[in-house]
Structures are given as structure tokens and as C-alpha cells.
Amino acid sequence: MLPDPFDNLDPVQSVKVLPRHLAGPGPVDLRTAWPFPSDQGWRQHQAEEGTAYAVSPCLRLWTRFVSEPELRGQGTWTIGGNRAPFEPTTWQVTFDATTPVELLHAVHAELFDLFMEDLRSDQDRLFGDATAPQEGYAPLLARGWSHDVRTDGTQTFLAPERLGGVRHRYDTGGFDGPIWRAWGGYPSEPHWRARFSPGTPTTLVAAFTASLISTEPVHRTVKDIPFHTRDHLHVVTAAAPQRPVAQPPPSPRPGRTR
């Protein structure tokens, strides 16, 4: 086993690490995961503690976060597309809450871009995206991920250290499960999982995989990085931990008694 690169670092120390799929979720911040400009009509709702929604102005797109810390995935991020408001969901993307927030940001940012493109044109890429599947997996091959094709209609791409993967179902005849799956960590016990249903715009998948293999490091504190894969992480930079400076207790105000 490789040595733990974080052994000599303070748990609250901030670090920049790669690869992203092993870095842990990062802070659960709606403003980071949902980069929807406030002046474009997207409405956000905090329904209750641990639950939040965002809805597009056309009411055809929605995204939801449900926190369930007692479960393995600690909750779910879900994106849905409806051809018409209030009709059944046409396609859906789900992420464990433990998914790195940078991947969530990339997919939601692409969702918003597709929404804006459809507004400005007569296209409907949100429900008729003609992007070829290879746009979703070509970045993985370019970054050295392995490729295994099986006769069951699936092809699997594994990260160089084999602790992350993307599976694409190329033969969808008679199949109604997720067309794309992704995970980070050991395949038998992944730290996070993502699933893209049939009909999901391939452009969203491509945004996800591009962020997945990005060489831009992500910020984490040492204590937030998963233990079981941290010996495969590369520490790009480590900043000194910011500790609070002790202040003397305030003097009692004149005229007051304790």
C-alpha cells in the first residue's frame, strides 16, 4: 500500500488535490452546485432542513437536493426534465450527495447553457440532443482511462488507478435502466455514484466526464478527504491551517454587575 500523503498534515489544513473522483464531496453548497444567475428567473426553494429545490422559468427543468446523512450516499442530488410542465419526467440524473461538488457544478452549468440555447433558437436539445455518445467518453480515453467492451451491450472505462469508472450502455434495446453510470472509489464499495437515464442530453454527460478528468486541482480540508482512497491522491499544494487567534476576555462594561 502506498503511504498516506496526509499523515503529517493537520486535519483542518486546506489542500489542493487530484484526481477529482477521489477527493470527496467538498462543501455541500447550493450556490456552488446550482450556478443559476438570479436574474434569469430560476426559482430556488428551501422546503425544509436538508431539502432544497430549483425550478426553471418554463417549469420543464428542476433540480433537487435531499440530505439523508444516515444513508451511505448521505442523500441525493436529482435533475429532471419534463417535456411539458407537470407532465411525467422524461429524463433524470441522480448523484449521491457524496459526489464531488465540482462535478455537480459542471452538469448544472451545462444544463443552464442548454436551457439558454433553446430559448434563443428553435432547437430543443434538452429533449432531442443529437450529440454523439463518444463525446461523453472520448475525454476519458484521452486521459488514459482503460476501455473494456462487452457483448452484454455495455462498455466500461476505468481510471488509471482503477478506483473510478464510467459505464455506458451502447445497446439500449429493451433496456430501461440508466444509460450512463459513474462512480468513485472501489467498484464494490464506491464513495459516490451517478446515474443518467435514457433521454438525458449527452451534452450533460460530456460536461460531467470533462470535469471528472480535469487537471485543475480541487480544494479540500484533510479531514474531508475519504480515508480508503487517499493514498492514491496527489497533493498539489498544502496551505498552512488557519487557526483562530486567542483573544483576551472582554472587560466588564462599567455600571453592570454579574
Q: Among residues 168, 201, 165, 214, which one has the least CA distance to residue 17? A: 214
Identity at 193, one-letter amino acid code: R
Q: What is the pLDDT of residues 98-118, one digit of tens each?
A: 999 999 999 999 999 999 999
Q: Among residues 189, 41, 19, which one has the least CA distance to residue 102? A: 19
SS3 call for 104:
helix
Question: How many percent of the chain have pLDDT more than 90?
Answer: 71
In whole angstroms, what is the distance from residue 2 CA to residue 117 CA? 47
Other beta carbons within 10 angstroms of residue 109's beta carbon come to 16
State residue 250's pLDDT score. Answer: 43
State residue 172's pLDDT score. Answer: 83
State residue 214's pLDDT score. Answer: 97
In whole angstroms, what is the distance from residue 168 CA to residue 165 CA? 10
Identity at 222, one-letter amino acid code: V
State residue 257's pLDDT score. Answer: 37
Asked if the model's pLDDT at residue 253 lies above 60, the reply is no
Flag whether the pTM goes above 0.85.
Answer: yes
Q: Among residues 168, 188, 187, which one has the least CA distance to residue 178? A: 168
State residue 249's pLDDT score. Answer: 42
State residue 108's pLDDT score. Answer: 98
State residue 239's pLDDT score. Answer: 61
Task: Give the mean pLDDT of 179-195.
Answer: 96
Task: Give the mean pLDDT of 209-222.
Answer: 96
Burial 7-38, CB ≥16 within 10 A → b, else e: eebeeebbbbbbbbbbbbbbebeeeebbebee
SS3 call for 180:
strand
Band (252; pLDDT cuts 50, 70, 90): very low
Q: What is the pLDDT of residues 148-172, one digit of tens each?
A: 999 999 999 999 999 999 999 999 8
Q: CB-based burial of residue 78 (10 Å sphere; 0-12 exposed, 13-18 middle, 19+ buried)?
A: middle
Instruction: State the chain's mean pLDDT as an integer.
Output: 89
In whole angstroms, what is the distance from residue 220 CA to residue 13 CA? 8
Of 218 and 239, the structure prediction assigns the larger pLDDT to 218
Assigned C-alpha cell, 225: 478527504
In whole angstroms, what is the distance from residue 165 CA to residue 186 CA? 9
Asked if the model's pLDDT at residue 248 lies above 80, the reply is no
State residue 215's pLDDT score. Answer: 96
* Least-confidence region, from 40-49, 136-145, 224-233: 40-49
Task: Give the mean pLDDT of 243-257.
Answer: 41
Q: What is the pLDDT of residues 22-77, one digit of tens each?
A: 999 998 889 899 999 988 899 999 877 789 999 999 999 999 999 998 888 789 99
Q: Among residues 163, 161, 131, 133, which one has the least CA distance to residue 149? A: 133
